[in-house]
Structure 1
Amino acid sequence: MSHPFNALSPDTVMSAAESIGVWPAGEPFALNSYENRVLMFRDDDGSRWIVKFYRPGRWSNDAIQEEHDFLQELRQADVPVMAPWRDSHGRSLHEFQQFRFALFPQCGGQAPELENPTHLFALGEALGSLHNVASRKAFQYRRQLQFERDISEAETCVLASQWLSKHQRRGYQQVIQKILRQPGVKAVDATPMMRTHGDCHLGNVLGRDEAFTLVDFDDCITAPAIQDVWMLLPVNDPNSWRAQLSEFVEGYEETLPFPHQQMALIEPLRTYRLIRHTAWLVSRWDDPAFPRAFPWLAESGYWDQHIRQLEQQCLQLEKPIWLA
């Protein structure tokens, strides 16, 4: 069965852009994206654009529009984000043939350097300003992070794949249940939540010197504020963690008090991402791009490694070393 994205040829991409009055000067260049299809092109005026074609069936139009409106709200409040281009009628979500797409100005630059205190301060300042605006309203159509529900859904998806041996299935189910029994995990769903970027890692922060822009809000959700922090400082060494976090917090608190009370949620949220990421790969296996990019997913050794990783994560849930 052919996947819908197979019909997204370079000519289709160019015709989609032209349908909203933007004229590519050359063939688009595909960027490294799997969930959606994201391409870059230069128009006939020399401006660089990013065009995102949304995965069919993933988000409703209302959910995508809510992302766009959130970005517009942030942009109007001078939060450093890239909001989508809107046509003369104010539309940011467009359709061409069977595809929905949006156009964004290209954001240049590089990821922050975690060894640079100035970069850490600027990064914290950007997140603080984002959360200050995000806390004023609530999402209506975007997903809310619910730990137990989401992990149970991921478990069901993985076990339906038929890739795990009988022994692996038993080990996977046991470690998932052990994770769900951890007190720290149960605290996630009881924590006050807000609108968040949702996938705020260093690859989604671009800039130069002291100015950084947050990009790719495709996974924006309602979640604890710390969800937008922990992936930015992926350091295992506690001393490095504390030093980097100190600079980050100083920048964050230019706008808002830092949510120190949510630090205990970091390991549960890391566990959540590990489990959900694997389930996401399984759920996308019908897209030809996934078997090509992640062939190891279908190998028995991967599942042994994944189960061991989750078992190690259980130890972190019981006693996070960086909180010691």
Structure 2
Amino acid sequence: MVSAAGASWPGRPVALALAAISQPVASMPQSHHPYDALTPDVVIDSVESVGLWSDARIFPLNSYENRVYQVGIEGAEPLIAKFYRPGRWTDAQILEEHAFAHELVAAEIPVVAPLAFDGQTLMEHQGFRFALFPRRGGRQVELDNFDHLEQVGTMLGRIHAVGAARAFEHRPALTLQHFAIDSRDFILEGDFLPPENRSAYESVTAHIIEQIAPLFDQPWRQLRLHGDCHAGNFLWRDDTPWFVDLDDCLTGPAIQDIWMLISGSRDEQTAYLDTVIEGYETFTPFDPRELQLVEPLRCLRQMHHAAWLARRWQDPAFPMAFPWFNTPRFWAEHILALREQQAALREPPLTLGAV
């Protein structure tokens, strides 16, 4: 999960949030997280292990799931070094992500793809798997700009046309089990919820899962997707949206890559949606029945995000970056947001061309 909100891919540097990668923080409980061993020397040695020569300038960028750095290269443009979180993906899953990125580039779609060294895009050094990417400058896409939205929709249509050509073999699928049920179970089985919030969380999540389960049992068309299409994962460069960070690419229905692009009132959402789909259908058709999934997918994201923070809480970067998590106030607000989502599920789904 890498933001691209800053001036260079993959994101705006947030040194505070990632300071824990190289030194302990006195106010934070000490841990033995695998990233503790990813020191600046290991970062430089990893980059140089592929035959490059670093100028020893390293700048951490704001990726929390992985560790990502801008690394200076002697006599050349800096590169982006991405160190994959140990234990999250298999080699086959990462290589399939890389292959998908290169397939999109071959189709002349603006995607930042990993560089190959001796034919390899995934390298390993001192126990850390990593990939190197070209640095790309740009600014964040404006999702309230209809011109930007239409172009994003056009590029998504092209991505999905490529994504429909074959199936992933190793990447995960978007399922109710993984994103909702497993997330709920992890929270309930862990020591996260204050006693006064446990019953409310247990009840609202159970009702949401029961309410949306029939929709996820339907045989939606399955595609290879970007998987995490929020504004932070685009760069606006050369009057074109560039897609970055395929770390969460997966198999699922097309709407998963569309719904996060729309927000606001119902009329605003409909106008934005119409614009995205107008661009999208230049290259591939969209099944409007998938609009039934917008609010259920929003529920899944909310539940999964809370569980993601809980699963990563032993990583020192997370308490520094998300100090508000795991507080009574957070859980009360999370439960309130889920109740609001439960109400949204009872509303009619969005429709195209309704404004």
Short-chain TM bin: over 0.9
Query: Which residue matches 1:312?
Result: 340
What CA deviation, in whole Å up to 9, does each residue of 1:234-268 have, x standing for no partner? x1212222222222222111111123221110100
Query: Which residue matches 1:18?
Result: 48
- What SS is found at the alignment partner of 2:54? coil
Aligned-partner Cα distance in 1 for 2:51–2:283: 39
Paired AA for residue 52 in structure 1: K
- What SS is found at the alignment partner of 1:21? coil
Query: Which residue matches 1:8?
Result: 38
What CA deviation, in whole Å up to 9, does each residue of 1:93-123 have, x standing for no partner? 0000010000011121112223332212211
Aligned-partner Cα distance in 2 for 1:78–1:84: 15
Structure 1 position 41 matched with structure 2 position 74: no
Query: Which residue matches 1:165?
Result: 194
Aligned-partner Cα distance in 1 for 2:236–2:272: 19
Query: Which residue matches 1:145?
Result: 174
What CA deviation, in whole Å up to 9, does each residue of 1:23-43 have, x standing for no partner? 222321000111100111231
- What SS is found at the alignment partner of 1:38? strand
Residue-pair matches, total: 321
- What SS is found at the alignment partner of 2:56? coil
Paired AA for residue 259 in structure 1: D
What CA deviation, in whole Å up to 9, does each residue of 1:43-74 have, x standing for no partner? 11331311100000000011001100111111
Query: Which residue matches 2:58?
Result: 28
Query: Which residue matches 2:306?
Result: 278
Q: 1:209 to 1:238 in 2, by over 3 A?
A: farther
Q: Is the 8 A contact 2:55 2:72 kept in 1?
A: yes
Query: Which residue matches 2:237?
Result: 208
What CA deviation, in whole Å up to 9, does each residue of 1:112-159 have, x standing for no partner? 223332212211111000000000111111111111453111111111
- What SS is found at the alignment partner of 1:247? helix
Query: Which residue matches 2:276?
Result: 248
Paired AA for residue 67 in structure 2: R
Deviation at 1:16, TM superposition (A): 0.3
Q: Is the 8 A contact 2:55 2:73 kept in 1?
A: yes
- What SS is found at the alignment partner of 1:296? coil
Structure 1 position 119 matched with structure 2 position 148: yes
Aligned-residue RMSD, C-alpha: 1.6
Aligned-partner Cα distance in 2 for 1:225–1:92: 27
Query: Which residue matches 1:266?
Result: 294
Q: Is the 8 A contact 2:151 2:240 kept in 1?
A: yes
Q: Is the 8 A contact 2:33 2:315 kept in 1?
A: yes
Q: 1:91 to 1:303 in 2, by over 3 A?
A: same
What CA deviation, in whole Å up to 9, does each residue of 1:171-199 have, x standing for no partner? 111111100121x4421342222111111
Question: Which structure ranks higher in relative contact order (CA pairs < 8 Å, sequence separation ≥ 6)?
Answer: 2
Q: Give 1:51's match in structure 2, choosing from 81, 95, 103.
A: 81
Q: Which has the higher helix share?
A: 1
Q: Give 1:95's match in structure 2, choosing from 124, 145, 153.
A: 124
Q: Is the 8 A contact 1:146 1:189 kept in 2?
A: no
Paired AA for residue 249 in structure 2: C
Deviation at 1:209, TM superposition (A): 5.1
Q: Is the 8 A contact 2:96 2:168 kept in 1?
A: yes
Query: Which residue matches 2:24?
Result: none
Aligned-partner Cα distance in 2 for 1:149–1:69: 24
Q: Is the 8 A contact 1:10 1:27 kept in 2?
A: no
**Any unmatched runs of 5+ in structure 2?**
1-30
Aligned-partner Cα distance in 1 for 2:264–2:286: 21
Aligned-partner Cα distance in 2 for 1:209–1:245: 24
Query: Which residue matches 1:294?
Result: 322
- Report % sequence identity: 43
Q: Is the 8 A contact 1:206 1:214 kept in 2?
A: yes
Query: Which residue matches 1:236?
Result: 264
292-301 vs 57-66, greater mean Cα deviation: 292-301
Aligned-partner Cα distance in 1 for 2:105–2:217: 30
Q: Is the 8 A contact 1:109 1:207 kept in 2?
A: yes
